Structure 1
């Protein structure tokens, strides 16, 4: 809501009612009044959604949204939710409808009904699932009733990550991503017959665009899984942010050896999840090597979501954190070496003292006896 003051009183213009941007869900209402309004009487606005690259390109989908055609379906939601670092798919499949089928790296639920709505689900092993034709409420309900009950989540997130887009079906258009809108249209047949499982069950959406929806879903699942990793890394970096200041003020690392090793283990876990797991964020899945059209769909949405750019940024942050920990580890090593030197010096001193206490009298007698004999010998020689 944008409030403009010092204008003619009692004038209120609702721009969203006449603006094509209203179709994008971007409403703008301009309230004009004399003086300053009492903010205490106004309800607090909802927390805005994160500004994603697709939201910044939302205007590109405006021509499709405001110019309906007889062949075009209504605009429906695509909602992605990441609730954990991974799912155990075989365990989860037992709690899904019997029509559920494995589809490459996912479980495909062709029909899922909830709150009078019907859609389909793609569930991936990276801890994300994508709902086509279902919104946030249905996705949250699925996570609460199915995922929690199945106990298939690995390292459940304290705060799930989400991404919401929209799609439209139009057989007269080509399948593509335009702005923040996915257009499901003409999709070429797959190059390999094994790309689509045999005996597909009836689904909510057309079968000919199934693999296109799968490719878009996998890109979305990677983006939200990466968002979860980005959030965890930010929390980690925040926990380490005070260490350089502590080093400046005290000259000490500010962490013990065990605590530093644990932090290093967390950092290695981030890097492993980002680059080394089977479902990493850098490589294109093997399935697309033989399907260039589907690879194009996957890459188009991945690029729109800036997955590779964000992956490089996360790697850079991890590299910085690793360098900082390397410095702290060297300081701890130097401190330990200095402490060991002091301990060795103290031990040598203690050993010397013990030797003096134990063998001192004997040494004293040996020295005094020798001096007495030398003096007697000198006297004899003198006479």
Structure 2
């Protein structure tokens, strides 16, 4: 199978060699047959064009810092575990967490702002899952297949999803456990190791069941998971907003070509409602992607874990970018509303002028003769008839 880059190179090679011919044996003296004329190439090229490429996995800004994790990846130690996946899946705009409690695996419980599933086994893989109210679940030690199966087996049966997404959003990361290292984020790799105990005894429940991973790093995993869940939920919002902006992209062209917005008043109001919903989801919900959750105010170590991943995922810059896009879309709609208002005002003026003209015509028909007499007087024939009647 030819790749896209090889196809481009072959086509460029064909264009050049079709016209160039040199005199020497080491030059382009022999005009080669264009490789694109090969039937095998044509068949493979057709297969390449017709095959729909799979949807690429979501890439995070952490990929820019991947080089920082190379020392950990390339130098394994006896105390360090294998590299394991962290997979985040967003399936809806919101989850109603109380509806999950009676349908999730036994041993699951509420952990601050998430539902914690300490053990979930699917085939040969076993891991833990954090389910957050923003419509995402974060799986430690599990991949995409296991996360989707958990969503299909558990979440879809609980009716806990509010406004399911048309297309799920995913994000992936990796981690290792090493008891002699400090818990931290290094590049695009999370290292779970030595973690200070929580400041408050209320931060961690006393009736925790054993998990797949060490209990002393549970709150660290929770903090990293909450940052990841926010990033994935924000990615879902970014995707929806891009689709919305794409649906509005033709309005300026319509104004240029026809001088009309191309949308009626009702359709424009609906679009405005969608835009307000985006801004509400970004800034006015209980979890608004910008504020630090109250739980971390009393836990500076956990707050550092949360903020380190939040900053690496560029949450503030992405939130600011979305707000700028929403502001631009709002300005476009404001212009369209003004145009519709002016159009409506112009129509009302024409209607009023037409009504006045009709009323003038009616008045002329009804009172025209009398007005004529008042201005020009009565005709002479009528005056003679009136005099004769008076004399007689």
- Name the TM tier (shorter chain): 0.7 to 0.9
Find the partner of 2:293 among 260, 285, 302: 285
Q: CA deviation at 1:287?
A: 1.0
Find the partner of 1:299 among 282, 297, 307: 307
Find the partner of 2:209 among 160, 184, 201: 201
Does 2:73 match 1:65? Answer: yes
Report the Cα distance in structure 2 between the residues aligned to 1:94 and 1:191, rounded to whole angstroms.
31
Does 2:244 match 1:231? Answer: no
**Corresponding residue for residue 279 of structure 2:** 271
**Corresponding residue for residue 353 of structure 2:** 345
Report the Cα distance in structure 2 between the residues aligned to 1:359 and 1:48, rounded to whole angstroms.
80
**SS where residue 57 of structure 1 aligns?**
helix
**Corresponding residue for residue 254 of structure 1:** 262
**Corresponding residue for residue 244 of structure 1:** 252
Is contact 2:57–2:171 with CA below 8 Å preserved after alignment?
no
Q: CA deviation at 1:146?
A: 1.1
Find the partner of 1:176 among 177, 181, 184: 184
Q: CA deviation at 1:148?
A: 1.1
Q: CA deviation at 1:69?
A: 1.3
Report the Cα distance in structure 2 between the residues aligned to 1:40 and 1:178, rounded to whole angstroms.
46
Find the partner of 2:84 among 72, 76, 80: 76
Report the Cα distance in structure 1 between the residues aligned to 2:244 and 2:311, rounded to whole angstroms.
27
Does 2:377 match 1:335? Answer: no
**Corresponding residue for residue 26 of structure 2:** none
Report the Cα distance in structure 2 between the residues aligned to 1:49 and 1:174, rounded to whole angstroms.
30
Does 2:146 match 1:146? Answer: no
Report the Cα distance in structure 2 between the residues aligned to 1:39 and 1:146, rounded to whole angstroms.
47
Q: CA deviation at 1:123?
A: 0.1
Find the partner of 2:143 among 104, 128, 135: 135
**SS where residue 350 of structure 2 aligns?**
helix
**SS where residue 95 of structure 1 aligns?**
coil
Is contact 2:57–2:170 with CA below 8 Å preserved after alignment?
no
Find the partner of 1:324 among 326, 329, 332: 332
**Corresponding residue for residue 133 of structure 2:** 125
Q: CA deviation at 1:321?
A: 0.4
Report the Cα distance in structure 1 between the residues aligned to 2:291 and 2:81, rounded to whole angstroms.
34
Find the partner of 2:110 among 99, 102, 122: 102
Does 2:100 match 1:92? Answer: yes
Give a deviation string over 1:35-85, Cα, whole Å, max 9, x none.
Answer: 789474487775543432112222211111121112111211110000110
Is contact 2:94–2:162 with CA below 8 Å preserved after alignment?
yes
Report the Cα distance in structure 2 between the residues aligned to 1:51 and 1:217, rounded to whole angstroms.
17
**SS where residue 100 of structure 2 aligns?**
helix
**SS where residue 324 of structure 1 aligns?**
helix
Structure 1: runs of 5 or more not aligned: 7-34, 377-383
Is contact 2:86–2:139 with CA below 8 Å preserved after alignment?
yes
Report the Cα distance in structure 1 between the residues aligned to 2:209 and 2:233, rounded to whole angstroms.
29
**Corresponding residue for residue 12 of structure 1:** none
Structure 2: runs of 5 or more not aligned: 11-34, 385-392
Report the Cα distance in structure 2 between the residues aligned to 1:39 and 1:281, rounded to whole angstroms.
50
Does 2:387 match 1:358? Answer: no
CA RMSD of aligned residues (A): 2.4
Structure-2-length-normalised TM-score: 0.83
